Chain A
Amino acid sequence: MGEGGTLAGIRVLDFCWIGAGALVTKALAELGADVIRVESRTRPDNLRVTPPFRPGTEGGLEASGYFASRNPGKRSFALNMRHPDARGIALDLAARCDIVTSNFRPGVMERWGMSYEEVRAVNEAIIYLVMPMQGSDGPHAGFIGFGSTIAALSGLVHLSGVPGRIPVGTGTHYPDHVPNPGHALVGLLAALLHRRRTGEGQLVELSQLESTVNVIGPAVLAVSAGVPVERSGDRMAGVVPRRAFATADGSWVVIACRTDEQRKALASALDIEMPADREEAAEAMVAEAVARLDCPSLLDSLHGAGVPAERVNSSRDILADRRLVERGFWYEVDHPVIGTMPMFRLPFRSEGGRTSTPSRPPLLGEHTWEVASSLLGMDRGDFDRLTEEGVLE
């Protein structure tokens, strides 16, 4: 939880796991909400055992850098939802929260007796987020998927790549990281605003497929109007060149010239003569010239000449990117198992700088006693008994 963040006072009961859902509550925690992550030791979040691990720390449930990267700022409450006595505790917590989040397949929260209707019966103003792959109803409501399969289903993968080659998409589970947590946050915060104004809570459903189709909305409009859209390998009419070029030192640089002035500056900086009417020949000349130069000196000369160019930042490069460093995008946490590691923030600053610095990612069950005693008023005897019975873990 962040100190004095903009959402201070908002409490979230978080059943999210793996990707898209965990990033929603990561953002809420960074904004200052108290996010209580419900986790199970019996059936832990798959990410807790997913690489990367710092060499020598592998094994156990605390070493995953992947898990850590999307869970800073949260508290961990270890509760075995499969135990019949867990539901009462979860409902007691939900009664004291403003928001309940989950991203399971339809039916899991219901099986645990934690459906929207059941939670609303103990907390009428609750805002309840679900993130089913394809929505809570319809013939494919029970279908399973991941960010990469949703990207394929939505049309994004088909459009990303070079004509005539296998569509490569983004090489990642992109929908899990931007469109789906981003749209979910918009829906949640709108529901929060509505509750501030009227006292009314509600159910927010984000279909991950429908959310992802929206970020390629222009293609849907075009095809519906009879204009075909296909992958173009980064080509765009009137922008020549527009692609990544390999440099001598093993980096890649994107050059994108929108005007003849920029193309002239590029030709002059590289000391080549680009044919104005033959795009591919011009690109080949640029590629040949760039391949003889190292990235830093190439960027210096292109920027000096007013040519739009950027390094294709690798994970190493981006940690040192001047703009991100100056804007405070990265911060470091010190974790008892992982050691120090960089964390990324939300992509905006407010007037006072960054909203807050979240605490390090939690160990599994690290805050079970803290939450049970302070929020539920549980005494040590009951806590020990519930732990022994395997309800609390």
Chain B
Amino acid sequence: MPEPGRALAGVRVLDLTDAYGAYASRLLGDLGAEVLRIEGRVDPDPVWPAPTRDHIDFGERFVNAGKVVVQAESLTGDDLEALVGASDVVFEAAGRLESMGIDRARLKALNADLVRVTVSPLGEDEPQDGPVDDLLVLAAGGLMHLGGYRDLGPIGAWGGQSAMAASIFGAVAALVGLVSTESSFDVSAQESIAQALEDSVAEFALVGTVRDRRGELPREAGTGTFQCSDGYVSMVAGRLGTARAWSALVAWLTEAGTPGAEVLREGLWSDFHHRKTPAAIDAFTRIFEAFAATRSKEALYRDAQEREIALSPVNDIAAILADRQLRERGFFVEVADEDLGRVVFPGPPYRLSATPARAPRAARAGGGDAVAGFVRGEADG
């Protein structure tokens, strides 16, 4: 019987990924699995734009938290075979095991019950010559076509999202393997990003319209990003908003005596077809931004939520670190870091009542003892 307390207690995970799959094993590790990462020759990291300090890569710090990291050159062929034999799950970059001398047949012979998950930018059959940049995958996956500026062109989402997406679905695939008889999965980051195309594919298929980036333009009167006294707020009070959001918004604007807001009480404004017209979007934006010009993000956030209007500040990272809700929930976790002294991690993305996830921990370097402990199933967790 596994020890109580962690959903994945006793599960051993071998991590042979590049940046695309590294967060997958981090997720399983936080749920209780023992994760041993084998690091190969160091390629320049193709996904994280976060600046480095003293050569510290914050992306790498984040996705490898909690793992025991072993250098590939310190392993013998026997070590690797023993690690594979002892594992329940192997995550790998496409072709990595084969390049280390373990092909499919050998893999099956070493461990018939192993769940093998390949995580790669474009699928394991696509030839890959060196690291693949996240921006290429955001483009190939279609998300980039929907983002960016009208004049400047498409812009990618920040933060290696194709790698985050592929890793999340890599973890999903591994867990599907652990609860079923399927044992081999091939995750594509391109397809992971293509989960996020909203209604655009359906719109093309049914109407023939190719959805383009909207840029700064609000989608609809009441829905978009708007300027206020100290930055921007994001609001959804239109078609997809709650039933009462639009009328609550109009009441808010008129009660405040906002110049021009009375016109929004007219009947045609309650029809979203009208609110989607460029003239309506333009008129609404002028009225709302005049109202918001004397109000801060925080004041708008508080007052809008009181009126059940879905409005949020466009936070920078310092603001989210100071966010009252996250602080009161104890979300952020300080982790001791040998180079930085301390660093703050986001807590787990979910709360499991019976098997809570572990708080993030720093990665640690391992050698022969770590390999032997993993193989014997005696790692300290």
Contact = CB atoms under 8 A, between A and B. Distances in A.
A140 B329 CA distance: 10
Nearest to A208: B349
Interface residues of A, number: 153
Interface in B120-153: 122-123, 126, 129-133, 135-149, 152-153
Contacts of A150: 312
A202 B232 contact: no
B40 to A, nearest CB: 17
A352 B53 CA distance: 45
A6 interface: yes
Interface stretch (A50-58, A274-282, A373-381, A385-393): A50-58
B294 to A, nearest CB: 19
Given A65-B202, A173-B198, A350-B182, 10 more contacts: A142-B305, A155-B317, A170-B147, A204-B350, A224-B342, A229-B317, A254-B136, A308-B132, A318-B142, A344-B197
15 contacts: A144-B309, A145-B236, A178-B161, A190-B31, A192-B175, A204-B351, A206-B349, A214-B348, A227-B53, A235-B49, A259-B130, A315-B201, A315-B203, A341-B205, A350-B185
A262 to B, nearest CB: 9
A316 B166 CA distance: 23
A146 B200 contact: no
Interface in B23-73: 27, 31, 44, 46, 48-53, 56, 58-59, 61-63
Interface in A245-261: 245-246, 252-254, 256, 258-259
Given A174-B196, A233-B155, A327-B188, A315 B61 contact: no
B201 A256 contact: no
B361 interface: no
A242 B135 contact: yes
Given A51-B199, A179-B164, A309-B136, A224 B144 contact: no
Contacts of A144: 242, 305, 308-310
Contacts of B181: 6
What 5 pairs between A and B have smallest CB-CB spacing? A347-B191, A224-B344, A65-B202, A152-B234, A189-B175
Contacts, number: 514
B172 interface: yes
Interface string A222-240: 1111111111111111110
A347 B153 contact: no
Contact of A234 (B135, B209, B353): B135
B13 interface: no
A197 B10 CA distance: 11
Nearest to B136: A310
A297 interface: no
Contacts of A210: 326, 329, 331, 346-350
B314 interface: yes
Interface stretch (B1-9, B252-260, B368-376): B1-9
A184 interface: yes
A348 B191 contact: yes
Interface residues of B, number: 155
Nearest to A63: B206
A160 B156 contact: yes
A293 interface: no
B214 interface: yes
Contacts of A219: 50, 58, 158-159, 317
A244 B195 contact: no
Interface string B322-344: 01111011011000010010111
- Chain B facing A: main interface SS: mixed
Contacts of A143: 305, 325
B234 A55 contact: no
Interface string A189-227: 111111011101111111101110111111111111111
Contact of B179 (A7, A173, A308, A350): A7
A230 B49 CA distance: 10
Nearest to A322: B126
A146 B195 CA distance: 17
A153 B320 contact: yes
Nearest to A330: B201
A160 B157 contact: yes
Contacts of A316: 204, 210
B4 A323 contact: no
Contacts of B331: 210, 213
Contacts of A355: 176, 182
Contacts of A148: 223, 234, 236
B194 A344 contact: yes
A204 B165 contact: no
B168 A134 contact: no
Given A68-B202, A347-B166, A348-B169, A220 B185 contact: no
Contact of A168 (B147, B176, B324): B147
Contact of B325 (A138, A218, A315): A138
Contacts of A52: 199, 202-203, 206-207, 209
B210 A153 contact: no
A382 interface: no
A184 B350 contact: yes
Contacts of B173: 348, 350
Contact of A221 (B161, B345, B351): B345
A167 B324 contact: no
Given A152-B313, A166-B232, A160 B155 contact: yes
A160 B236 CA distance: 19
Contacts of B155: 160-162, 168, 233-234, 244
